[in-house]
Amino acid sequence: MTQINSLADIVDNGLCIGCGLCKSIAGNNLLKMEMSDKGNLEPKELKPISNKILENIKKVCPGVIAEGPEDQEENKGSNKDIVWGNYFGLYYSWSTDPKIRFQSSTGGLLNGLSLYLLEKNKVDFIMHTAGDKENPMRNVVKYSYSKDDLLNCESRSRYGPSSPLSEFHKALDKKQTFAFVGKPCDAGAIRLLAKFDGRVDQYCKYIFTLVCGGFQELTKSQEFIDSFNVKEQELEEFRYRGFGNPGRMYIKTKDQKEFDKDYNSFWGDESNWKVPFRCKICPDAIGESADIAALDTWRGGSPKGEDEGFNAAVTRTKKGIKIFNEAVENGYLVKGDQITIDDIKDFQPHQTTKKQAVYARHQGMKKNNLPSINTKNLRIEELYKLNDNDFNKKQEEGVAKRVGKL
Total domains in the chain come to 1
Q: Which of 83-92, 170-179, 258-267 has the lowest mean pLDDT?
A: 258-267
Is residue 119 domain-resident?
yes
Residue 296 lies in a domain: yes
Task: Judge whether 229 lies within some domain.
Answer: yes
Residue 27 neighbours by CB under 8 Å, 6+ apart: none
Residue 12 lies in a domain: no
For the stretch 216-242, pLDDT in tens is: 899 989 999 999 999 999 999 999 999
- In sequence order, the β-bridge partners of residue 144 are 126
The mean pLDDT of the chain is 95
In a domain, 1, yes or no: no
In the beta sheet, which residues pair with residue 376?
Answer: 67
> By three-state DSSP, how is residue 288 classified?
coil
Alpha-carbon distance of 175 to 156, in angstroms, equals 27
**Is the N-terminal amide bond of 276 cis, ω within 30° of 0?**
no
Q: Of 131-145, 250-264, 271-285, 373-387, which gets the smallest average pLDDT?
A: 271-285
Per-residue pLDDT at 63:
97
> What's the rounded mean pLDDT across residues 284-313?
96
Q: Provide the residue type at 170 as one letter.
A: K
Q: Rounded to whole angstroms, how far apart are CA atoms 313 and 291? A: 10
pLDDT exceeds 80 at position 404:
no
Please name the residues in contact with 127: beta carbons below 8 A apart, sequence gap of 6 or more.
141, 142, 143, 164, 168, 171, 178, 179, 180, 181, 204
**pLDDT of 268 above 70:** no
Please report which confidence band the pLDDT of residue 269 belongs to, taking 50, 70 and 90 as the band edges. low
Q: What is the pLDDT of residues 347-400, one digit of tens each?
A: 999 999 999 999 999 999 999 999 999 999 999 999 999 999 999 999 999 987
- Residue 264's pLDDT band, with cuts at 50, 70 and 90, is confident
Is 1 a residue whose pLDDT tops 60? no
What is the torsion angle, in degrees rounded to the nearest 10, for the CA atoms of residue 318, residue 324, residue 330 and residue 336?
A: -130
Share of the chain above pLDDT 70, in %: 98
Strand pairing of 89-95 and 333-338?
antiparallel
User: Is pLDDT of 123 > 80?
Assistant: yes
Structure confidence at residue 157 (pLDDT)? 87
What is the per-residue pLDDT for 153? 86
Band the pLDDT of 263: cuts 50, 70, 90: confident
Which H/E stretch holds residue 191?
A: helix 184-194
DSSP structure class, residue 223: H
pTM here is 0.96
User: 88 is in which domain, residue-wise?
Assistant: 68-406
* Residue 137 confidence (pLDDT) above 90: yes
* Whole-number Å distance between alpha carbons of 289 and 66: 10
Average pLDDT on 202-219 reads 95
Residue 152 lies in a domain: yes
Q: Is residue 192 a part of any domain in this protein?
A: yes
Calculate mean pLDDT across residues 173-178: 98
Question: How high is the pLDDT of residue 271?
Answer: 64
Q: Does 268 reside within a domain?
A: yes
pLDDT of residue 377: 97
Strand duo 85-87 + 374-376: pairing: unpaired
What is the separation of C-alpha 47 from the centre of its chain, rounded to a whole number of angstroms? 29
Q: Enumerate the H helices of 91-145 as residue ranges.
A: 98-103, 109-119
% residues pLDDT > 90 (the chain): 89
pLDDT number for residue 265: 80
**pLDDT band at 406, cuts 50/70/90?**
low
| Type and span of the H or E element at 128 | strand 125-131
At 114, the pLDDT band (50, 70, 90 cuts) reads very high
